[in-house]
Structure 1
Amino acid sequence: MIRHIVMWKFRPGTEKEQEEFLTGLRNLQGVIPQLLKSEVAVNVAPGNYDAVLVSEFASLEDLDAYKNDPRHKAVSALCKSIREDRVAVDYEF
C-alpha cells in the first residue's frame, strides 16, 4: 500500500479558488477507482501550509494512474494556478 501526502501554500486572495480546488479534490473519491481512500483538510493553525491531502493506493502504479487521470489533472491545473508552494511524500505502509 502507498500513502500519498501533499501539502499546499496558497497565494493570498485566492480563497474562492482554494475552496473550488479542495472541493474538486474531495469529489475525486469514489470516482477514480485507484484512489482507495482520501482525506482533504484545511490547516487551522497559522504559519504553516494551508491544506493537506492524505490518500491511499494499492501500488505506485495505481498512484501514477491517479495522477494521470484527466479528472485529477483538471483539479490539479486549478491548484497550479493558485499555489505558492507544494510539498509531497509517498511511502509504503
Structure 2
Amino acid sequence: MIRHIVMWKFRPGTEAEQERFLAGLQGLQGVIPQLRRSEVARSVGADNYDAVLVSEFDTLADLEIYKNDPRHKAVSALCKSIREDRVAVDYEF
C-alpha cells in the first residue's frame, strides 16, 4: 500500500476557492477507483500549513493513474491557482 500526503499553504483572499478545492478533493473519493481512502482536513494550528490530504493507493502505479485522471487534474488546477506552497510525501506501509 502507498500513502500519499500533501499539504498546502494558500494565498490570502482565496477562501472561497479554498473551500471549492477542498470539497472537490473530497468528492474524488468513490469516483476514482484507484483511490482507496482519503482524508481532507484544515489545520487548526496558527503557524502550520493550511490543509492536508492523506490518501491511500494499492500501488505507485495506481497513484499515477489518480494523478493523471482528468477529474483530479481539474481539482489540482484550481489548487495551483490559489496556493503559495505545497509539500508532499509518498511512502509504503
TM-score between the two structures when normalised by the length of structure 1: 1.00
AA aligned to 1:5 is I
Q: Could you tell me which residue of structure 2 aligns to residue 5 of structure 1?
A: 5
CA-atom RMSD in angstroms:
0.2
- CA drift of 1:59 comes to 0.1
State the identity %: 82
Hey, what's the Cα distance between the residues in 1 that align with 2:6 and 2:42? 12
Matched residue SS, 1:31: coil
Q: Which runs of 5+ in 1 are unaligned?
A: none
AA aligned to 2:11 is R
- CA drift of 1:86 comes to 0.1
AA aligned to 2:7 is M
- CA drift of 1:74 comes to 0.1
- 1:12-71, CA deviations, whole angstroms, 9 ceiling, x for partnerless residues? 000000000000000000000000000000001101100000000000000000000000
Q: Could you tell me which residue of structure 2 aligns to residue 36 of structure 1?
A: 36
TM-score between the two structures when normalised by the length of structure 2: 1.00
Hey, what's the Cα distance between the residues in 1 that align with 2:58 and 2:44? 30
How many residues are treated as equivalent by the alignment? 93
2:19 counterpart of 1:19 = yes
AA aligned to 1:52 is V
Q: Could you tell me which residue of structure 2 aligns to residue 58 of structure 1?
A: 58
